[in-house]
Chain A
Amino acid sequence: MVERALGGDVEAFGKLFEVYSKPVYRFIFFKVGNREVAEDLTSQTFEKALKGLAGFDEKKFFKTWLFTIAKNTVIDYYRSRKNSFSIEELEDVFPDSEDVTNDVQVSDEARRLFGALSKLKKDWKRIVEFKYIFELKNEEIAYITGMSEGNVRVILTRAIKKMKHIFRHERS
């Protein structure tokens, strides 16, 4: 589909939007915590992707490329509001998923899951979010984090086990 879009296929980019807009939206929502802002920044992300499509390296993963654009779009958004932050500082400004979802109607189970997620180590939590909320494949997570696919798989298994343990512990 990416190749078709690169070739100028009329509908291919629209299809790409259909496939990737939800995970990108979720990723942005988790960084800004506001539906309208998340929609606006998602739209901006795809505008930028469309403009930069010709420069996309086909050897890379399209989805990770898109997430990089989304992340930069969020950084631009925060900068426009408070331009004294450095990129490193901005990483810390991103709200926690547990806080972000405070204003969203989710079930108790989901809220407890966020609670369990927040108790994981920072890199484990990030990998779980990439996998289960932003729907990235293991190889894409490995590409973004610089880890091996095997390492990603092991962390995911341990993180899920740990989350289940936290869940059960809380129940009892």
Chain B
Amino acid sequence: MKDLDLNRIFKEIRKTISPDEKWLDSQTRKFSSKHDGKLTLTISILPFNALAMNRKLMAIIVSGAIVLTGLVGVPVAAQAKDVGPGDFLYPVDLALEDAELALASDEDDVVLLNEQLEERVGESEDSEESGEVSEAIELYNQKVDQLEELLASLCQEGSESCDEDTFSKIETVGFATLRHVEVLAGVFDKQIEKGNESAADAIIGAMEHSLNGHDQAVESLQKSRENSEDGDDGETSVAEEELKAGKDKAKQKIEEAKTRGKGRSK
């Protein structure tokens, strides 16, 4: 007999007993505007070169700045969005990301780190300068390391039960890392065209890093299945099968990029 999935029934109950969506929207708007005018800080009052600043120190300054109220201007968070390597506000952006991570739960961290990985990949795509690409790539690698560590700690035996949400978040990471390999292959080609060999080498390293992150995601999925409340039925999910198949393609992409790189440098 198929094992009874109480989690699914509880999920259905949670979905059924939920407030009206329109009411939720109006209340969210109401509570989002309650603080209007309290948090404010103009970046122009920062009397230093943010680029040259240590990230931890910047995070402390940003946190300190956030608690200041009553100053005129726009929030740092709002200004620091959509900035990339080389921008004056970039260290502020990174410090805000660190602060966000520090405040989130482990499962939310998976989502946040994944979003941050997407940003770094996007930055490496958008950057024109070799130095900026390398900076984005270095940060990308750091984020993959962080994510790997986090994934390894999730769904351990004896830890809180791994629910479907956690499972799907890990799956998302698995697919995202495969996509990153493809995007990075495009960035690699662009840098090779420009003759930026050091950046190109760094990109190959990042592609391999993506694959390591992917492996960890697959491993965590297996672990979460084994340690799930209902026990492991021994069957891999469709997503797991797709992830395994995707890895072979990604490996091939990396090999092709390596070959193109070698051909170019001859």
B-binding residues in A (CB < 8 A): 1-18, 21-22, 25-26, 29-30, 35, 38-39, 42-43, 46, 50, 101, 104-107, 109-110, 113, 132-133, 135, 137-138, 153, 156-157, 160, 163-164, 167-168
For B64, the closest partner residue in chain A by CB is A7
Would you list which residues of chain B between 177 and 222 have a CB under 8 Å from chain A? none
B 37-68 to A, binary, CB cutoff 8 A, 1 in contact else 0: 01100000000000000000000000100110
Q: B162: shortest Cβ distance to chain A, in Å?
A: 13
B245 is an interface residue with CB less than 8 A from chain A: no
Residues of A within 8 A of B33 (CB): 10, 14
Q: Chain A CB within 10 Å — which of B20, B39, B69, B158 has the most?
A: B39
Q: How far, in whole Å, are A22 and B20 apart by their CA atoms in the complex?
A: 10
Which of B6, B17, B36, B38 counts the most A-chain CB atoms under 10 A from its CB?
Answer: B17
Residue of B nearest to A5 (CB): B35
Which residue from B16, B32, B229 sits with its C-beta under 8 Å from A110?
B16
**Does B265 touch A at the CB level, under 8 Å?**
no
* Contact between A137 and B39, CB atoms less than 8 A apart: no
Q: List 30 A-B contacts (CB under 8 A).
A: A4-B66, A7-B63, A7-B69, A8-B67, A9-B35, A10-B38, A10-B75, A13-B31, A14-B28, A14-B33, A17-B27, A17-B28, A17-B31, A21-B19, A46-B27, A46-B31, A104-B17, A105-B16, A106-B12, A106-B16, A107-B12, A110-B13, A113-B13, A132-B7, A135-B14, A137-B160, A156-B161, A157-B229, A164-B6, A168-B4
Distance in Å: Cβ of A21 to nearest Cβ of chain B: 6
Residue of A nearest to B77 (CB): A9
Known: A21-B24, A50-B31. A26 touches B10 (CB 8 A): no
**Interface footprint category on B:** 35 or more
Task: Choose among A11, A29, A101, A163 the residue that contacts B32 (Cβ–Cβ < 8 A).
Answer: A11
- With an 8 A cutoff between CB atoms, is B259 at the interface? no
Closest to B36 in A: A10
Q: Which residue of A lies closest to B158 (CB)?
A: A153
Q: Are A8 and B39 in contact (CB under 8 A)?
A: yes
Contacts of A8 in B (CB 8 A): 35, 38-39, 66-67, 69
A-chain residues with CB within 8 Å of residue B23 when the two chains form the complex = 39
* Contact flag A7-B27 (CB < 8 Å), given A21-B19, A50-B34: no
Q: Count chain B CB atoms within 10 A of each CB in A2, A105, A110 and give the residue with the most.
A: A110
- Bound: A147/B158 CA distance, A: 17
A50 proximity list for chain B (CB < 8 A): 31, 34
Contacts of B238 in A (CB 8 A): none
Task: Flag whether B266 is at the interface (Cβ < 8 A).
Answer: no
- Specify which chain A residues have a CB less than 8 angstroms from the CB of B18 in the assembled complex: 22, 25-26
Q: Once bound together, how far apart are the Cα atoms of A51 and B208, in whole Å?
A: 50
Q: Bound complex: CA of A33 vs CA of B251, how far in Å?
A: 55
Q: Which residues of A contact B103 (CB under 8 A)?
A: 1-4
In the complex the two chains form, what is the Cα distance from A42 to B36 in whole Å? 22
Inter-chain CA distance A8–B103, complex, in Å, is 15
Contact across chains for A29 and B17 when beta carbons are under 8 A apart: yes
A10-B32, A46-B27, A138-B160 given; A133·B13 CB < 8 A: yes
The residue of chain B having its C-beta at the shortest distance from the C-beta of A161 within the complex is: B229
User: B38 to A26, Cβ gap below 8 A?
Assistant: no
Q: Which residues of A contact B35 (CB under 8 A)?
A: 5, 8-10, 12-13
Residues of chain B within 8 A (CB-CB) of A14 are 28-29, 31-34
Q: Is the CB of B32 within 8 A of A7?
A: no
The reply to whether B9 and A7 form a contact with Cβ atoms under 8 Å apart is no
CA distance A5 to B39 in the complex (A): 10
Complex interface: chain B residues within 8 A of A35 (CB): 19-20
